[in-house]
Chain A
């Protein structure tokens, strides 16, 4: 089955800086990789996802890159803002279920 590792576990940046979170996965057959943002006490919300037929996807300040050969994918947030502070989870897909990384707590200081 799929195994997803995520790092760092915590990330502190200054407002306006970039933040990068990295994940690796084990199942070479995986082809769908979503990223979720979870604020304290709230539901995980999908912020971006990537499918294996592309290497990069961008949505405003958020981008995700995928390297299928190395089996890793990364979330990039540019021009960070205090409201980006949250826990971010990457996930891989194993059959129908999502396998989540352990999360990255991002703190953006004004």
Chain B
């Protein structure tokens, strides 16, 4: 049973470019969460999605960031016009049905470096 998959694992962008991060949840999981980890810091929640729905985006910056989880295909976190402060590790996690007591399983992360 494949775990949570993320790609790319490393992404280098210049300031002003766009970054697209992809996440495929574990088989049988329909709930995806995105977290950001700045260097030497903890993980901060960004957004929670179900298929075709954004449930909670309270942790996502209002500008330049967007997320989707289409009916088919992976969840995508999109960062437009990247700035140096966007450099971080972006992790997604998945759970089967979003229950309050469910474990969230993390993917390997995408490490974004903005030059």
Residue contact A34 to B98, C-beta cutoff 8 Å: no
- Minimum CB–CB distance from B94 to chain A (whole Å) comes to 12
Residue contact A103 to B42, C-beta cutoff 8 Å: yes
Task: List residues of chain B with CB within 8 A of the CB of A32.
Answer: 100-101
- Minimum CB–CB distance from B68 to chain A (whole Å) comes to 17
> Which residue of B is nearest A53, CB measured?
B101
- Minimum CB–CB distance from B1 to chain A (whole Å) comes to 15
> Which residue of A is nearest B55, CB measured?
A96
- Minimum CB–CB distance from B58 to chain A (whole Å) comes to 8
The CA of A32 and the CA of B58, in the complex, are separated in Å by: 20
Q: Is B74 an interface residue (CB 8 A)?
A: no
> Which stretch in A13-21, A41-49, A55-63, A73-81 binds the other chain?
A41-49
Number of interface residues of A (CB under 8 A): 22
Q: Is B12 an interface residue (CB 8 A)?
A: no
Residue contact A44 to B101, C-beta cutoff 8 Å: no
Q: Is B104 an interface residue (CB 8 A)?
A: yes
Q: Is B65 an interface residue (CB 8 A)?
A: no
Task: List residues of chain A with CB within 8 A of the CB of B104.
Answer: 34, 46, 98
Interface residues of B (CB under 8 A from A): 31, 33, 35, 41-45, 48, 55-56, 58-59, 91, 93, 98, 100-101, 103-109
Given known contacts A95-B100, A96-B31, A99-B45, what 12 new A-B pairs fall within 8 Å (CB)?
A32-B100, A34-B104, A42-B108, A46-B103, A46-B104, A89-B42, A96-B33, A97-B33, A97-B48, A97-B56, A97-B58, A100-B43
